[in-house]
């Protein structure tokens, strides 16, 4: 196993990066890669050649061909879950040393475990593209928690209010596949807060969930709650409803609002990305992070994640959300659906 430093990866001070997938979300990846230093984009592959071509990079429609011709150090997988395992397996076989894979990672916990094991045995790094923890407001909130600005944290709430889920045309203009997904709210979107709560508070010891389908035009659930219990008494509530909105010029900046409450103060995240602290007993708030005109998606979190990986690889810094650690997110997601099905709290998250 290598330790992930540039020397061990056999790369110089520039990473050769190739991307698989050129659909809706890939636009944010290509834009971000182009703004990151110490990177050379060497190819784009999509089964639809016109999409790969439209990226302006050397275009491929076959992954094996791209890996052979472009010889990337890093493969960025931006295709849906059914493509993940075979792409990872092929990339490892063809000598790629680092893979970034979009969430949801593979089609099941079992498949994700298999991919993780394959990579570990080959000394290949897989980082899951779980970008929400890289949103600047969550970095600010975590710093505030580390500085004990809230005293003892007692509870956390995130209200997801995307406002894009009403009526028969819901999601069709941006992500039409949402309508057909048997599991939508948690598997597609709520999963970001499974990870973000872990990033901010740590590993939960139990979950409870209550999920609903409100829009009859779609297959999966589009509203619901999950609650995480922590051993120190903290509770974290995710309260999601895709039919409702929140006060924001763009409901997709933060996708909702957060409240973190402790014995000495309260933090609020607004829909413009700003974070404020109110001390216990005060009416006034202090601004900890001002809203900005961030480029890219969600406070430029795609670029933040990509830069984190590049710096980690080239400067030998530790990486967040490597595949082994991300298995926990998938296990917790399974527990959420199990809790909803059984109507009871789930305490066992099997992710070994």
Q: Which position among 21, 256, 265, 312 is part of the footprint of ligand NAD (CB under 6 A)?
A: 21
Cα 178 to chain centroid distance, Å, stands at 17
81 binds ligand NAD (CB under 6 A): yes
91 binds ligand NAD (CB under 6 A): no
What is the three-class DSSP state of 219?
Answer: coil
**In the complex, least distance from residue 84 CB atom to ligand NAD, rounded to whole angstroms:** 8
Q: Which position among 33, 42, 99, 103 is part of the footprint of ligand NAD (CB under 6 A)?
A: 103
47 binds ligand NAD (CB under 6 A): yes
For the chain, how are helix, strand and coil distributed in percent, rounded to 5? 35, 25, 40
Q: Are strands 286-289 and 275-279 parallel, antiparallel or unpaired?
A: antiparallel
79 binds ligand NAD (CB under 6 A): yes
Residue 324: is it exposed, middle or buried by C-beta count within 10 angstroms (0-12/13-18/19+)?
middle
Q: Between the CA atoms of 322, 326, 327 and 330, what dihedral angle is there, to the nearest 10 degrees?
A: -150
**In the complex, least distance from residue 2 CB atom to ligand NAD, rounded to whole angstroms:** 27
Q: Which position among 2, 10, 34, 48 is part of the footprint of ligand NAD (CB under 6 A)?
A: 48
274 binds ligand NAD (CB under 6 A): no
80 binds ligand NAD (CB under 6 A): yes
46 binds ligand NAD (CB under 6 A): yes
Q: Which position among 83, 116, 196, 254 is part of the footprint of ligand NAD (CB under 6 A)?
A: 83
Q: Are strands 39-45 and 15-20 parallel, antiparallel or unpaired?
A: parallel
**In the complex, least distance from residue 179 CB atom to ligand NAD, rounded to whole angstroms:** 13
23 binds ligand NAD (CB under 6 A): yes
78 binds ligand NAD (CB under 6 A): yes
Tokens, residue 13? 């001070």
| Interface segment toward ligand NAD; rule CB under 6 A; list 19-27, 209-217, 250-258, 328-336 | 19-27
Residue 167: is it exposed, middle or buried by C-beta count within 10 angstroms (0-12/13-18/19+)?
exposed
Token look-up 């010029």 returns: 249
Number of amino acids touching ligand NAD (CB under 6 A)? 24
Residue 21 or 265: which CB sits closer to ligand NAD?
21
Alpha helix ranges (H) inside the chain: 6-9, 26-34, 49-54, 63-70, 84-93, 109-122, 136-146, 191-201, 301-315, 323-342
What is the three-class DSSP state of 117?
Answer: helix
d(CA 217, CA 116): 36
175 binds ligand NAD (CB under 6 A): yes
Residue 24 or 280: which CB sits closer to ligand NAD?
24
d(CA 271, CA 255): 7
22 binds ligand NAD (CB under 6 A): yes
304 binds ligand NAD (CB under 6 A): no
Give the binding site for ligand NAD (CB under 6 A).
20-26, 45-48, 51, 78-81, 83, 102-104, 129, 131, 175, 177
């Amino acid at each position: 196993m290598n330790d992930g430093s540039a020397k061990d990866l056999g790369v110089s001070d520039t990473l050769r990066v190739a991307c698989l997938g050129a659909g809706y979300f890939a636009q944010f990846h290509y834009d971000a890669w182009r703004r990151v230093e110490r990177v050379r984009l060497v190819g784009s592959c999509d089964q639809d050649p016109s999409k790969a071509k439209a990226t302006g990079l050397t275009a491929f429609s076959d992954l094996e061909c791209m890996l052979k011709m472009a010889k990337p150090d890093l493969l960025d997988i931006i295709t849906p879950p059914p493509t993940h395992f075979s792409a990872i397996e092929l990339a490892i076989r063809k000598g790629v040393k680092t893979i970034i894979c979009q969430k949801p990672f593979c089609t099941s916990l079992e498949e994700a475990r298999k991919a993780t094991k394959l990579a570990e045995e080959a000394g290949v790094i897989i980082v899951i593209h779980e970008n929400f923890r890289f949103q600047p407001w969550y970095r600010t909130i975590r710093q505030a928690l580390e500085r004990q600005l809230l005293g003892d944290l007692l509870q956390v709430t995130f209200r997801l209010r995307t406002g894009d889920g009403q009526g028969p045309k819901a999601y069709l203009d941006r992500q039409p596949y949402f309508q057909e997904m048997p599991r939508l709210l948690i598997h597609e979107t709520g999963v970001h807060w499974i990870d973000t709560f872990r990033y901010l508070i740590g590993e939960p010891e139990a979950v409870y969930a209550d999920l609903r389908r409100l829009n009859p035009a779609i297959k999966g659930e589009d509203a619901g709650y999950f609650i995480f219990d922590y051993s120190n008494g903290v509770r974290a509530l995710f309260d999601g409803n895709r039919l409702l909105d929140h006060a924001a010029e763009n409901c997709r900046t933060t996708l909702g609002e957060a409240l973190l409450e402790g014995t000495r103060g309260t933090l609020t995240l607004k829909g413009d990305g700003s974070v404020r602290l109110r001390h216990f007993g005060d009416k006034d708030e202090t601004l900890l992070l001002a809203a900005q005109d961030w480029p890219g998606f969600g406070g430029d979190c795609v670029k933040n994640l990509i830069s984190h990986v590049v710096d980690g690889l080239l400067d030998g810094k530790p990486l967040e959300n490597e595949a082994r650690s991300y298995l926990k997110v998938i296990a917790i997601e399974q527990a959420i659906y199990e809790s909803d099905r059984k109507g009871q709290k789930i305490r066992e998250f099997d992710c070994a």
